[in-house]
Amino acid sequence: MTVEQIVSETKDQFPIGMRVLAVDDDPTCLLLLETLLRRCQYHVTTTSQAITALKMLRENKNKFDLVISDVHMPDMDGFKLLELVGLEMDLPVIMLSANGDTKLVMKGITHGACDYLLKPVRIEELKNIWQHVVRRKKFDRKVRSNSDSQDKPHADSGEAAGIGKADNNVKINKKRKDQNEDEDEDLDENGHDNDDPSAQKKPRVVWSVELHRKFVAAVNQLGIEKAVPKKILELMNVEKLTRENVASHLQKFRLYLKRISCVANQQANMAAAVGTADSSYLRMGSLNGLGNFHALSGTDQLHNAAFRSFPPSGVLGRLNTPAGLGIRGLPSPGTIQLGHVQNSGHSSNDQSKLQSFIPGNHNTNILQGMPMSLDLDQLQNNKGVSHIGELPAANSTAVFPVSGSLIDSRIAGFSNNPLLGVTSNSLMLEGSSQQANLHASNLRDGVSAVGFQNGNTLSNFASIDPVSSQLRDSKADLQGQAAPINCNAGPMIRSVPPQEWNAPRKDAPYQSHLMSSSVNSSIPVNGAMVQLDQCLDRNNSIFHRTMDSDSIGPLNFVDPLSIKHGEGLNSAAMEPPVIEKEGYLMYQLRPHGNHIPDNIGSLEDLASAMMK
Amino acid sequence: MERNPLRRQLQIMRKSLFDQGYLDEQFVQLEELQDDSNPNFVEEVVTLYYRDSARLILNIEQALERKPYNFHKLDAYMHQFKGSSSSIGAKKVKAESTLFREYCKSGNGEGCMRCFQQLKKEYATLRKKLEAYFQVARQAGPMETACRPK
């Protein structure tokens, strides 16, 4: 079948009627562009503001097929918009500029643009832009087909490296029968494909929070350097997820981590300030983060909303702070670290830490106390532990931020640990959201909340049952807010380009988006947990446990489990989850071969880095 | 050649604009986009351009009054102005914009100032010519097809 045939199956008239969103602050150019596009028989929507464009896109992901945007805009950098759209909505974006410098074009490519056009635009060029939509669709379809792709041997080690979408497109050589897209059943905003390939409108893998968590866990387990799509796919063990999906996602994730790593430094400082809450801290963070995640996953909107709400909460606020935001995608590196921290190194401590860790309550306090200790680099439990004690009282938010920071630092530490970045964010996010909700319930709840991140997940928290219920409630709150976080930290990371795409929101909003998009409305905690389990395995038994309880799966970073621990779950149950989380987190943070010594180590390092 | 005298006049004006380098190929693109459903497209775009770019010109002027020059800002404004100008096919104006940006990059304040004065002249000249052109166009009625300049 040719592309045209495939396309026509889904949309007879395509490319006629293709829905384009045009963004350009120059009214002359915008009018010209609009007219040209109309002449090509596309359906055009225009706006002169990037923020408005984002809003429109977020309202309904299925409303547009393609975005064309100018590079120089007053309210938001075109590249930032590009990244955000790519991460959140996974739509093809074409950049437009009067400046054709190679550097700029390269920048466009690295940020994920499918094409770069020079002004004044010619109609001949616009007549062909539909190819980008088709290419993506085709790819998605294939990618989503099923997991058979895993069997396909290919040199993916290199591909993930930076090929990104383009690569994926290229890989779509084989036409697989289209099957339902990835397993994110809950996330269905995009109208995932159904069984009938030809009926697929927009085959796109939606990286729900849970899925993302699995992804992060897998990457952590493999180590960021050795994480190749094929192995990740195997580890994730998700049906109908293809290697291309993973490869594309991995690429984004890596970009994200890189971005975060810059920010992480800032975080590190923050983390340092926080103090020792290293592992426990991380745990908390993670838990919180996770919690948020779930909340985030709820729905995009939810996420967004949740996300936004984050900032207000203590944690979020933290997150938004440079340290927190540093990670860009990572809501609170510190938080992530928490989770990790625990795993690394102090397994034994972890538990204790976790418990004490749950400081989360204090928004800032926690962070302060904790991050410092968290010191990712050293992440050695001690720090975290000490803090944890303090934290408990504090609002979870505090904890989270720290985590974030920790994570940030961590991230800084290993720039190449994309996961870290991600995790922290997730953690952070969760933390933030959770904090808002959790604080009251206390970390414990938070922890549990983390467990059930999406709100639903809490229930999953088997280990933390008692806590989880509490968390659940809090989680619910968080969800609204945090939701974004859970969503796949990965995407977040990406989206969280250092550029501060969303000035106002900073990471939070971004993350939320990420999360929301990735996280299906309810990420079954258990599911996530399970994954974590697999991944974390190494950390310790507890770790596993937490995994189970926490479906936080996708959220690598935020291991709700860890948070649980941190929270000072007084109950043993708490511990395990935490540990798991840590392990989970650890994965994320731990890039293979990176400084992250162990699951926890990485977190700790991250935390410490962040704190510093 | 058009039999209608107004149309003939219009064609002559148009040709001269191209021959003298005031307009380039992009203007033809604009004309091609004009059709029955969009009968005054070219004039609309040009009007919009002059309205919007007036703001940019003002910004640049004000920036040039503050010494020392903020070349970065000047370049940014001019970049935007250039984008607009190229969209309507204002050839000479675009050339001056490019030159201005070169001066900005090399930090040549005096060059910028001189260039800008020239740019404003070209900008004003083109405006007058286009206004006259559109006036005749309105009188002549819809053109049948856009003719490409030789």
Q: What's the pTM? A: 0.45
Q: Is the dihedral of CA A452, A453, A454, A455 positive or negative?
A: positive
Residue type, A606: L
pLDDT category at A12 given cuts 50, 70, 90 is low
Whether B45 contacts chain A with CB within 8 A: yes
Contact at CB, B83 and A123, closer than 8 angstroms: no
Contact at CB, B32 and A28, closer than 8 angstroms: no
C-alpha span between A398 and A275 (Å, rounded): 12
Contact at CB, B29 and A122, closer than 8 angstroms: yes
Best mutation target among A23, A24, A26, A127 (most B Cβ atoms within 10 Å) is A26
**Cα-flanking dihedrals φ and ψ of residue A476, to 5°?**
-50, -45
Mind listing the pLDDT tens digit for each residue in A409-427? 343 333 334 333 333 333 3
Chain B positions in Cβ-Cβ contact with residue A72 (cut-off 8 Å)? 76, 79-80
Average pLDDT over residues A394-414: 37
Contact at CB, A119 and B86, closer than 8 angstroms: yes
- Specify the pLDDT at position A301: 41
Buried b (16+ CB within 10 A) or exposed e, A173-207: eeebebbbbbbbbbbebbebbeeebeebbbbbbbb
Give chain A's largest Cα–Cα span: 68
Chain B positions in Cβ-Cβ contact with residue A27 (cut-off 8 Å)? 48, 52
Mind listing the pLDDT tens digit for each residue in A345-392? 333 443 444 333 333 343 334 334 343 433 334 434 444 333 333 333
- Residues from A contacting B (CB-CB < 8 Å) are 26-29, 31-32, 35-36, 39, 72, 97-99, 119-120, 122-123
Helix A525-536 to helix A209-222 angle, to the nearest 10 degrees? 0
**What three-state secondary structure class fits A514?**
helix
- Nearest Cβ partner for B38 among A29, A35, A72: A35
Checking if the pLDDT of A396 tops 60, the result is no
C-alpha span between A374 and A390 (Å, rounded): 13
Residue A411 and residue A400 in contact, taking contact as beta carbons nearer than 8 Å = no
- Which residue in this structure is represented by tokens 């190749």? A228
C-alpha span between A386 and B138 (Å, rounded): 82
If we measure between CA atoms, which residue out of B6, B10, B11, B9 comes closest to residue B150?
A: B11
A306 burial type by CB count under 10 A (0-12 exposed, 13-18 middle, 19+ buried): buried
C-alpha span between A319 and A266 (Å, rounded): 11
Best mutation target among B36, B87, B123 (most A Cβ atoms within 10 Å) is B87
Chain A positions in Cβ-Cβ contact with residue B41 (cut-off 8 Å)? 35
- Specify the pLDDT at position A478: 38
Average pLDDT over residues A65-92: 88
Whether B16 contacts chain A with CB within 8 A: no
**What three-state secondary structure class fits A22?**
strand
CA distance B84 to chain A (A): 6
Distances (CA, A) of A278 to A24, A344, A580: 46, 10, 16
Highest mean pLDDT among A139-143, A280-284, A554-558 belongs to A139-143
- Specify the pLDDT at position A95: 93
Greater confidence (A130 vs A597) lies with A130
Chain B positions in Cβ-Cβ contact with residue A122 (cut-off 8 Å)? 29
Mind listing the pLDDT tens digit for each residue in B25-82? 999 999 999 988 888 999 999 999 999 999 999 999 999 998 889 999 999 999 999 9
Q: Is the dihedral of CA A535, A536, A537, A542 positive or negative?
A: negative
- Specify the pLDDT at position A280: 44
Mind listing the pLDDT tens digit for each residue in A429-439? 333 334 434 34
For residue A503, what is the enclosing H or E element? Answer: none
Mind listing the pLDDT tens digit for each residue in A192-218? 444 444 444 446 677 777 788 888 888
- Which residue in this structure is represented by tokens 């928290």? A461
If we measure between CA atoms, which residue out of B54, B55, B40 comes closest to residue A31?
A: B40
If we measure between CA atoms, which residue out of A377, A370, A500 comes closest to residue A435?
A: A370
Mind listing the pLDDT tens digit for each residue in A541-590? 443 343 344 443 343 444 444 434 434 334 434 444 444 444 333 444 34
What are A531's two structure tokens?
């994954």
Chain A positions in Cβ-Cβ contact with residue B89 (cut-off 8 Å)? 120
- Specify the pLDDT at position A247: 86
- Specify the pLDDT at position B141: 74
Mind listing the pLDDT tens digit for each residue in B88-108? 999 999 999 999 999 999 999
- Specify the pLDDT at position B23: 95
pLDDT mean across residues, chain A? 55
List B residues 48-87 in contact with A (Cβ-Cβ < 8 A).
Answer: 48-49, 52-53, 76, 79-80, 82-84, 86-87
**What three-state secondary structure class fits B115?**
helix
C-alpha span between B15 and B31 (Å, rounded): 13
Chain B positions in Cβ-Cβ contact with residue A97 (cut-off 8 Å)? 83
Chain A positions in Cβ-Cβ contact with residue B32 (cut-off 8 Å)? 123
In chain A, the residue whose alpha carbon lies closest to the alpha carbon of B81 is A26
Mind listing the pLDDT tens digit for each residue in A241-274? 888 888 888 888 888 888 777 766 666 666 555 5
**CB-side neighbour CA atoms (13 Å) of A590:** 34
pLDDT category at B131 given cuts 50, 70, 90 is very high
- Specify the pLDDT at position A243: 83
- Nearest Cβ partner for A119 among B33, B52, B83: B83
Average pLDDT over residues A322-340: 38
Percent of chain A topping pLDDT 90:
8
- Nearest Cβ partner for A98 among B45, B49, B79: B79
Residue A407 and residue A607 in contact, taking contact as beta carbons nearer than 8 Å = yes
Mind listing the pLDDT tens digit for each residue in A145-183? 654 444 444 444 434 444 444 444 444 444 444 444 444
C-alpha span between A222 and A57 (Å, rounded): 35
Runs of H (alpha helix) within A418-464: 418-451, 457-460
Residue A467 and residue A306 in contact, taking contact as beta carbons nearer than 8 Å = no
Helix A278-297 to helix A507-518 angle, to the nearest 10 degrees? 60
Q: What residues contact residue A39 under an 8 Å CB cut-off, 6+ apart?
A: A123, B33
Residue A290 and residue A425 in contact, taking contact as beta carbons nearer than 8 Å = no
Average pLDDT over residues A84-92: 84
Average pLDDT over residues A40-50: 92
In chain B, the residue whose alpha carbon lies closest to the alpha carbon of A36 is B33
Checking if the pLDDT of A484 tops 70, the result is no
**CB-side neighbour CA atoms (13 Å) of A338:** 72
What are A52's two structure tokens?
């408005």
C-alpha span between B56 and B20 (Å, rounded): 25
Distances (CA, A) of B80 to A578, B77, B111: 53, 5, 19
- Nearest Cβ partner for A27 among B32, B41, B52: B52
What are A589's two structure tokens?
């943070």
Contact at CB, A72 and B76, closer than 8 angstroms: yes
Chain B positions in Cβ-Cβ contact with residue A29 (cut-off 8 Å)? 83-84, 87
Residue B92 and residue B22 in contact, taking contact as beta carbons nearer than 8 Å = yes
Checking if the pLDDT of B135 tops 80, the result is yes
- Nearest Cβ partner for A31 among B45, B76, B83: B45
Q: What residues contact residue A333 under an 8 Å CB cut-off, 6+ apart?
A: A260, A263, A264, A267, A271, A323, A324, A326, A327, A403, A404, A405, A406, A407, A408, A409, A410, A411, A420, A421, A423, A424, A425, A427, A428, A606, A607, A610
If we measure between CA atoms, which residue out of A327, A307, A326 comes closest to residue A505?
A: A307
**What three-state secondary structure class fits A97?**
strand
Chain B positions in Cβ-Cβ contact with residue A119 (cut-off 8 Å)? 83, 86-87
Average pLDDT over residues A37-58: 91
Chain A positions in Cβ-Cβ contact with residue B30 (cut-off 8 Å)? 32
Runs of H (alpha helix) within A176-226: 209-222
> What is the complex's ipTM, to 2 decimals?
0.90
- Specify the pLDDT at position B84: 92
Contact at CB, B87 and A123, closer than 8 angstroms: no
Contact at CB, A32 and B82, closer than 8 angstroms: no
Percent of chain A topping pLDDT 70:
30
Distances (CA, A) of A348 to A355, A500, A540, A602: 12, 38, 10, 16
C-alpha span between B23 and B13 (Å, rounded): 12
Contact at CB, A29 and B84, closer than 8 angstroms: yes
Chain A positions in Cβ-Cβ contact with residue B123 (cut-off 8 Å)? none
Chain B positions in Cβ-Cβ contact with residue A98 (cut-off 8 Å)? 79-80, 82-83, 86
pLDDT category at A138 given cuts 50, 70, 90 is confident
Chain B positions in Cβ-Cβ contact with residue A28 (cut-off 8 Å)? 45, 48-49, 52-53, 84, 87-88
Whether B97 contacts chain A with CB within 8 A: no
Q: Is the dihedral of CA A289, A292, A298, A300 positive or negative?
A: negative
What are A343's two structure tokens?
């795993």
- Specify the pLDDT at position A141: 65
Mind listing the pLDDT tens digit for each residue in A23-40? 999 999 999 999 999 999
pLDDT category at A296 given cuts 50, 70, 90 is very low
Helix A300-309 to helix A418-451 angle, to the nearest 10 degrees? 90
Residue A566 and residue A281 in contact, taking contact as beta carbons nearer than 8 Å = yes
Contact at CB, A28 and B52, closer than 8 angstroms: yes
